[in-house]
């Protein structure tokens, strides 16, 4: 997922540094520098450090660098949950939406659950259910037990925490 942007950035940097290196080598060999570099150095030499255009350019470059650092430090494929490596050469992942669907289906099998919404993040599973005829504590206990079993059966490498909220459905008028 991040290979293509990283490859594009690497190719652009490689091309830019290659052109700059060629220009520096040609200046050292006695030729004149490229016109764009002479113009850029003349412009930068004539501007003050508190110039608005210079500060705006520096801010854009700093924001781009910060964005690249964030991309480098955050895990890739955030929509996938890593699964246990049962076979050493095989790495598997489960989409968060699929895990949420499986857990929602298991929760809907519980007696007294009218509706349930399950969201799965990398670290937490949140279940919000509406119970209509059983005691809320009984439904919450059953939901907690069934969802914990379901999370265990998903085969995830890191078991997410579980948060269960049960309420009565809103009355219709």
Whole-structure pTM value: 0.62
Task: Please say if the pLDDT value at position 128 is more than 90.
Answer: yes
Question: Residues 155-164: what's their mean pLDDT?
Answer: 93
Q: What is the mean pLDDT of residues 53-80?
A: 86
DSSP type of residue 102: H
Q: Where are the domains of the chain?
A: 3-73, 81-167
Phi-psi region of 112 (alpha: psi -120 to 50; beta: other; left: phi over 0): left
Average pLDDT, the chain: 89
Could you tell me the CATH superfamily of domain 81-167?
Cation efflux protein, cytoplasmic domain (3.30.70.1350)
Predicted local distance difference test score (pLDDT) of residue 72: 77
Mean pLDDT of 69-84: 82
173 SS3 class: coil
Mean pLDDT of 143-172: 92
The rounded distance, in Å, linking the Cα atoms of 160 and 166 is 19
CB 120 within 8 A of CB 103: yes
Q: Are the CB atoms for 106 and 152 separated by under 8 Å?
A: no
Pairing of strands 124-131, 161-167: parallel
| DSSP structural state of residue 156 | B
Q: Which two tokens stand for residue 23?
A: 């220009």
pLDDT digits (tens, 9 = 90+) for 82-100: 888 888 888 888 999 999 9
pLDDT of residue 2: 64
What does the chain come to in residues?
173
Distance between CA 80 and CA 56 in Å, rounded?
37
pLDDT (average), residues 69-74? 80
């Amino acid at each position: 997922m991040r290979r293509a942007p990283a490859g594009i950035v690497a190719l652009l940097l490689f091309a830019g540094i290659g052109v700059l290196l060629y220009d520096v080598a040609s200046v050292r060999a006695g030729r004149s520098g490229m016109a764009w570099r002479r113009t850029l150095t003349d412009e930068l030499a004539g501007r003050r450090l508190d110039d608005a255009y210079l500060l705006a350019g520096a801010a854009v470059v700093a924001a781009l660098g910060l964005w690249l650092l964030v991309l480098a430090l955050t895990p890739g494929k955030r929509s996938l949950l890593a699964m246990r490596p049962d076979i050493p050469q095989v790495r598997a992942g489960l989409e968060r939406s699929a895990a949420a669907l499986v857990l929602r289906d298991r929760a809907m099998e519980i007696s007294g659950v009218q509706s349930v919404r399950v969201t799965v993040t990398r670290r937490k599973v949140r279940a919000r259910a509406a119970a209509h005829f059983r005691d809320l504590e009984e439904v919450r206990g059953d939901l907690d037990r069934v969802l914990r079993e379901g999370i265990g059966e998903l085969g995830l490498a890191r078991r997410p925490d579980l948060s269960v909220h049960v309420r009565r459905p809103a009355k219709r008028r």
